[in-house]
Structure 1
Amino acid sequence: MINESIKPRFCETDGLGHINNTVVAQWFEGARDPVFEWFTPDLSLSNWKLILAKTTVEFHAELQYGAKVELKTFISRIGNSSFDVYQEAWQADKKCASGTAVMVHFDHQAKKSQKISATTIECMKAHFIEL
């Protein structure tokens, strides 16, 4: 598991005082940076090796301004060229949101998917969760 603690910003709240539903997807994307580094260690966009094929977010409870949020990132599926990143947002010991991002190892020059290396698969296995 990759763990990151964040503090919600006031500008991320909506008219009801909750964290806006669009914000969680942004938090999840930011928490995927360590995963991105397995493929592009310097995070150089000119050498980027991933595409996002699908993303989902489910809300389980309200997220509030003023309390830290723990973002937990796991790998939940490993394929030949694609994999699933499963993430959770926790606040006050409660799972408030979860989501999955389907990522594809991709050659942007050739415009086709690439096999994930054995070394990268080993990194993924260290963060694997069975759902």
Structure 2
Amino acid sequence: MYSEELKVRFYETDALGHVNNTVIPAWIETGRIPVFELFASQGSPYEISLIVANLNVDFLRPVYFGFPVTINTYISRIGNSSFVIGSEIWQKDKLCAKGASTLVNYDYKNECSLPIADEIKLKLKEKAHPEHPLKQ
């Protein structure tokens, strides 16, 4: 599992002092960067073959300015050519939002999915959530 702490920026809030709902998916995207780097290790970062096929976010409680947030990012499922990244947004020891992103290893030239290399699958398995079993 990857974990990163972020400061809530004032411009990310709305008139009520809550973090705007459009910000949470951007934070989830930030949390996915280390996973993209696993695929970039195969070559240039400009040749990453991942596409986001699906993104779901559950907003559980408001997030506020003035307190840091922690983004936990982990692998929850690994398939042949796709995998699911789970995300959790925590503030003041409370789970505020959770997300799931399905990513597909993709061949842009031939417009089709590609199997994920076994060595990458092993690295992905290492990033499973310690409290949630990995789905196959």
Matches within 5 A, 1:1-131: 1-41=1-41, 44-45=45-46, 47-129=47-129, 130=132
How far does residue 15 in structure 1 lie from its aligned partner after superposition? Answer: 1.4
What is the CA–CA distance in structure 1 between the aligned matches of 2:44 and 2:68, rounded to whole Å?
Answer: 27
Aligned residues of 2:76 and 2:85 also touching (Cα < 8 A):
yes
Q: Which sections of structure 1, spanning at least 5 residues, go unmatched?
A: none
Paired letter, 1:35:
V
Other structure's SS at 1:67 match: coil
Give the structure-2-normalised TM-score.
Answer: 0.91
What is the CA–CA distance in structure 2 between the aligned matches of 1:9 and 1:109, rounded to whole Å?
Answer: 39
After the TM superposition, which parts of structure 1 deviate over 6 Å for at least 4 consecutive aligned residues?
Answer: none
How far does residue 48 in structure 1 lie from its aligned partner after superposition? Answer: 2.1
What is the CA–CA distance in structure 2 between the aligned matches of 1:89 and 1:38, rounded to whole Å?
Answer: 22
What is the CA–CA distance in structure 2 between the aligned matches of 1:69 and 1:84, rounded to whole Å?
Answer: 22
Paired letter, 1:24:
I
Paired letter, 1:120:
I
Paired letter, 2:62:
E
Give the structure-1-normalised TM-score.
Answer: 0.95
How far does residue 55 in structure 1 lie from its aligned partner after superposition? Answer: 0.1
Alignment: residue pair count: 130
